[in-house]
Amino acid sequence: MASQDTDTLVIPDAPRPIVQILRMLWRDKFAFCAAIFLLIVVFCACFGPLLFEDIATKQNLRGRNAPPFDFSKDWLFWLGGDALGRPLLARIMVAAQNTLMVASGAVFFSLTIGTALGLIAGYKSNLTSQIIMRMADVIMSFPSLLLAVIVLFMLPPSVFNLVIVLAITRIPVYLRTSRAEVLEIRERMFVQAAKVMGASSGRIVFRHILPVILPTMLTIATLDFALVVLVESSLSFLGIGIQPPEITWGLMVAQGRPYLTSAWWLSFWPGLAIILTTLSLNLLSNWMRTALDPVQRWRLEIARKKK
């Protein structure tokens, strides 16, 4: 959804797919706002540390716990300052990078590994699939937060290790969904036809089945992204995720906790950033579910014709 500039290139009879998508997005105003907000967050994640790293780490003890909405100051201070006088807005924009990096890494790995294993487990009904499913059961029955705690005690809690731990705990979700889908799809006519025409297992799975289940998996991934952001924030909040001086939103909430009674804004703003991001992802995922479903898509298309 990064390419917005294409909405001027409307071809009357056959709009490009990207234009179609943007139009469907525009139809759902909530999803549209969500997408805009996420673009801003992604922008902060990409360029925030570059632009604001210095300001966000510069201490200013005279501006400790500066209250928000003081518009006489620099705009970076509009959300107030933290316990060391660092501007909260700048810190939130810098922290977006770690928060999003951990979440997108974890979602990427769990999505690819989980889907691949699910395809294997669904297409090959034998010992392999049994072993894969039992392993998924073990991970599922393990309280994921505890697995993270134990592993992060052994390994230094770096961004990379956090990504691995979160990815492992989320793999079963994709594994089970893709397997269930494959079990249904492999009985369909087009798969049978491909088989009769002598397609290899790999070809059937990757060229015929994967494209069918991909929309579902991407919708789940969007939803899961929100969940991973929450889990990462909880871990950082408990003090076992990202360690200072690195920052994430969850860690910022934790750092503001001692000042709750005197300076609520220290914890409030980063928490709001988390909730707005996860809410946007949920809204977008809802939209995707409709937009990618051929049966439901008319809900987003029909109004376009009315206009």
The DSSP string of 65-126 is T--S--TTS-GGGTT-B-TTS-BHHHHHHHHHHHHHHHHHHHHHHHHHHHHHHHHHHHH--S
Q: Which of 65, 112, 234, 243 is in the footprint of other proteins by CB under 8 A?
A: 234
Residue 243 as a binder of other proteins (CB under 8 A): the answer is: no
Residue 40 as a binder of other proteins (CB under 8 A): the answer is: no
Residue 126 as a binder of other proteins (CB under 8 A): the answer is: no
Structure-block tokens of residue 250? 């969850």
CB 118, CB 175: distance < 8 Å? yes
Instruction: Find the shortest distance in angstroms from Cβ 120 to other proteins.
Output: 19
- Which range in 48-56, 61-69, 149-157, 210-218 contacts other proteins by CB under 8 A? 149-157
Give the residue among 93, 98, 25, 74 at the shortest CA–CA distance from 303: 25
Residue 129 as a binder of other proteins (CB under 8 A): the answer is: no
Within 186-264, residue ranges assigned H as helices are 189-196, 201-203, 210-238, 249-256
| CA 79 to centroid of chain Cα atoms | 25
Peptide bond between residue 245 and the one before it cis (omega within 30 degrees of 0): yes
Other Cβ atoms closer than 10 A to 182: 24
- Residue 87 sits at φ, ψ, to 5 deg, of -65, 130
Structure-block tokens of residue 45? 């994640």
Residue 156 as a binder of other proteins (CB under 8 A): the answer is: no
- Which range in 21-29, 102-110, 121-129, 258-266 contacts other proteins by CB under 8 A? 258-266
Closest to other proteins by CB, 81 vs 241, is 241
How many residues bind to other proteins according to rule CB under 8 A?
A: 38
- Contact set for other proteins, span 212-231 (CB under 8 A): 226, 230
Instruction: Find the shortest distance in angstroms from Cβ 105 to other proteins.
Output: 19
Q: Which of 24, 93, 205, 274 is in the footprint of other proteins by CB under 8 A?
A: 274
- Which range in 6-14, 65-73, 136-144, 186-194 contacts other proteins by CB under 8 A? 136-144
Residue 111 as a binder of other proteins (CB under 8 A): the answer is: no
Residue 264 as a binder of other proteins (CB under 8 A): the answer is: yes
- Which range in 1-9, 75-83, 119-127, 132-140 contacts other proteins by CB under 8 A? 132-140
- Which range in 106-114, 118-126, 187-195, 274-282 contacts other proteins by CB under 8 A? 274-282
Q: How far apart are CA 114 and CA 108, in angstroms?
A: 10
Burial degree of 25 (CB within 10 A; 0-12, 13-18, 19+): buried
Structure-block tokens of residue 164? 């691995």
Half-sphere exposure for 233 (CA within 13 Å, toward CB): 23
Q: Which of 3, 14, 134, 211 is in the footprint of other proteins by CB under 8 A?
A: 134
Instruction: Find the shortest distance in angstroms from Cβ 60 to other proteins.
Output: 25
Judged by the rule CB under 8 A, the positions of this chain that interact with other proteins are 30, 134-135, 137-138, 141-143, 145-146, 149-151, 153-154, 226, 230, 233-234, 237-238, 250, 253, 257, 260-261, 264, 267-268, 271, 274-275, 278-279, 281-283, 286
